[in-house]
């Protein structure tokens, strides 16, 4: 792509949070956690002071409210995706945020994290790099253990429960008033341990700590969600019918999910379970349905048959934090070779982005982005982000996300470098 657009300046070093903004950060943190009656358990945190690395699971924006309360009276420097900076770059820089384009290997971000630690701050990272699609653990990069060891400071985790139930990624139009939510803040690795532990052991501890399932948490704790539209949007992640196996035919209304192909209906209970209105309930636990879809995608990858086909798309670019720039219309293919997007601008110029399988262990997707733009995949280089919006009924960005992970797993396996459990 040409250089007609100004690029986000990633080289500016991170700041410490401005003193006059700290009360605002704390007010939002304490008011939000008070609203949800958040219970925070602290483990092995006595005497822990900055500098340290804070690793959190990621289900909703509310995660940051909890982290801000957990780190009080300090304010962390958060690694934030570039779209979070749109229209508020100065504010986020003044709070201390570090900008990153998702699923890119950016050494500038590593440099900024080192600076935060050197300045005796808290480097807050959400290593799953996206909101969880169904309230369960997403892949964590292998390089995380190496980074933590190189920094040589304590590793603290904050694992939250209930945020996906309260504000699921597949329907972010309104919160559901879930309370109480819970969080565990834990010094996972001490400064003394970090020097002696291997990178593999550091990764193992992180992966073990990042095991969570919000729907199971909801059921076990009998957290009631009586929102009448609680199933609306569920077809975004449950795109394949387990009865007739038809893809892209599910739809939702109120508390029900329906297959438009075979007519089967499931009701989502107030405790997050699915119950078939007639016949067998194939999956009462939503993550089990989601993992069944993953297994089906994995079979396509292993057979060498996975392909989205050629999809018509429209593309918007995000070169900086000033806003989206329409690039034009074109096509996208996601197959055994990875992503390829070609777009033709209104003035006739052609742009292409290719993301081969080895370059992406996962990808970021959005549902009904900004409530009007539609479902999309965002693909990143170090200098640009493309928001790619497929058109038509025969696609699912969730399937593309699952396929991206399974293609990468398959690539690693064939390269005789298999992924370790929970790591990519």
On whether the CB atoms of residues 387 and 378 are closer than 8 A, the answer is yes
Helix (H, G, I), strand (E, B) or coil at 366: strand
Residue 198 to residues 53, 156, 189, 213: CA-CA distances in angstroms?
A: 17, 17, 12, 28
The span from the CA of 224 to the CA of 272, in Å, is 8
Return the closest-CA partner of residue 290 out of 317, 257, 261.
257
Average pLDDT, the chain: 95
On whether the CB atoms of residues 163 and 60 are closer than 8 A, the answer is yes
> What is the band of 378 on the pLDDT scale with cuts at 50, 70, 90?
very high
Alpha-carbon 210 to chain mean position: 13
* Structural domains of the chain in order of their starting residue, each with its CATH number: 22-220 (no CATH), 234-302 (no CATH), 306-414 (2.30.29)
As given in the structure block, the two tokens for residue 69 are 């309360």
The span from the CA of 54 to the CA of 332, in Å, is 37
Task: Give the pLDDT of residue 230.
Answer: 96
> Tell me: the pLDDT tens digits for 328-350?
999 999 999 999 999 998 888 89
For the chain, what percent of residues have pLDDT higher than 70? Answer: 98
Which sign, positive or negative, has the C-alpha torsion 283, 285, 288, 289?
positive
On whether the CB atoms of residues 207 and 422 are closer than 8 A, the answer is yes
pLDDT, average across residues 258-287: 97
pLDDT, average across residues 232-257: 98
> What is the band of 24 on the pLDDT scale with cuts at 50, 70, 90?
very high
> Tell me: the pLDDT tens digits for 209-230?
999 999 999 999 999 999 999 9
> Tell me: the pLDDT tens digits for 99-137?
999 999 999 999 999 999 999 999 999 999 999 999 999
The span from the CA of 327 to the CA of 388, in Å, is 10
Task: Give the pLDDT of residue 3.
Answer: 59
* Lowest mean per-residue pLDDT among 1-5, 255-259, 381-385: 1-5
> Tell me: the pLDDT tens digits for 36-56?
999 999 999 999 999 999 999
> What is the band of 420 on the pLDDT scale with cuts at 50, 70, 90?
confident
- Stated as kind and residue range, the H or E segment containing 212 is none
The reported pTM is 0.95
> Is the pLDDT reported for residue 2 higher than 60?
no
């Amino acid at each position: 792509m040409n250089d007609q657009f100004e690029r986000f300046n990633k080289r500016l070093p991170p700041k410490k949070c401005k003193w006059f903004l700290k009360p605002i950060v704390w007010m939002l943190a304490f008011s939000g956690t008070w609203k949800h009656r958040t219970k925070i358990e602290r483990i092995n945190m006595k005497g822990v002071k900055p500098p340290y690395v804070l690793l959190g699971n990621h289900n909703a924006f509310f995660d940051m409210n909890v982290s801000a309360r957990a780190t009080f009276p300090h304010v962390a420097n958060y690694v934030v995706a570039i779209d979070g900076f749109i229209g508020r770059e100065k504010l986020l820089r003044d709070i201390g945020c570090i900008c990153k384009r998702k699923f890119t290997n950016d050494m500038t971000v590593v440099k900024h994290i080192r600076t935060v630690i050197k300045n005796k701050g808290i480097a807050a990272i959400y290593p799953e790099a996206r909101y969880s699609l169904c309230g369960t653990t997403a892949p964590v990069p292998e390089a995380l253990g190496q980074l933590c060891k190189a920094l040589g400071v304590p590793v603290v985790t904050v694992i939250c429960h209930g945020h996906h139930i309260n504000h699921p990624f597949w329907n972010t139009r309104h919160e559901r008033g879930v309370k109480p939510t819970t969080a565990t803040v834990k010094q996972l690795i001490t400064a003394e341990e970090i020097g002696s532990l291997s990178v593999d052991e550091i990764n193992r501890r992180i992966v073990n700590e990042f095991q969570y399932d919000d729907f199971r948490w909801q059921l076990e704790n009998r957290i009631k969600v009586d929102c009448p539209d609680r199933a609306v949007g569920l077809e975004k992640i449950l795109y394949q019918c387990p009865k007739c196996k038809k893809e892209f035919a599910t739809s939702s209304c109120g508390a029900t999910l329906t297959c438009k192909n075979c007519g089967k209906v499931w009701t989502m209970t107030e405790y997050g379970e699915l119950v078939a209105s007639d016949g067998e309930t194939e999956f009462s636990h939503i993550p089990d349905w989601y993992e069944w879809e993953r297994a089906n995608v994995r079979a396509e990858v292993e057979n060498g048959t996975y392909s989205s086909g050629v999809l018509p798309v429209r593309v918007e670019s995000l070169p900086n934090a000033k806003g989206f720039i329409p690039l034009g219309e074109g096509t996208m293919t996601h197959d055994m070779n990875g992503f390829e997007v070609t777009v033709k601008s209104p003035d006739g110029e052609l742009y292409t982005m290719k993301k081969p399988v080895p370059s992406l262990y996962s990808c970021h997707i959005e549902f009904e982005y900004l409530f009007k733009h539609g479902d999309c995949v965002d693909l990143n280089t170090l200098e640009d982000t493309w928001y790619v919006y497929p058109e038509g009924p025969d696609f699912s960005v969730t399937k593309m996300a699952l396929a991206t992970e399974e293609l990468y797993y398959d690539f690693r396996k064939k390269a005789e470098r298999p992924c370790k459990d929970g790591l990519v």
